[in-house]
Amino acid sequence: MATKVFMEALSPTMEEGRLAKWLKNEGDAVKSGDVLAEVETDKAIMELVARGDGILRKRLVAEGGTVPVG
């Protein structure tokens, strides 16, 4: 079963983030807690982590892309 990864609010004021760098490739196995990507917010660069085990099937956002929270 596929699970979508959403941009989480990494700070109370965050409305969007810029995907700075992917750390996992399509097809990579991931475990809960693995860092998938680095996300740049208005204040810092933070980590987007996997919430479960599985395979990263497809990246829907390119590096440098801006994504709204949610």
C-alpha span between 31 and 58 (Å, rounded)? 16
pLDDT of 9 reads 80
Tokens matching residue 32: 């809960």
C-alpha span between 59 and 42 (Å, rounded)? 23
Q: Label residue 1 by pLDDT band (50, 70, 90).
A: low
pTM to 2 decimals?
0.83
Tokens matching residue 12: 């109370």
Q: Label residue 31 by pLDDT band (50, 70, 90).
A: very high
pLDDT of 69 reads 86
Domains of the chain: 16-57 (2.40.50.100)
Asked whether the predicted pLDDT for residue 33 surpasses 70, the reply is yes
In 3-state terms the chain splits into helix, strand, coil percentages (rounded to 5) of 0, 35, 65
How is residue 10 annotated by DSSP? S
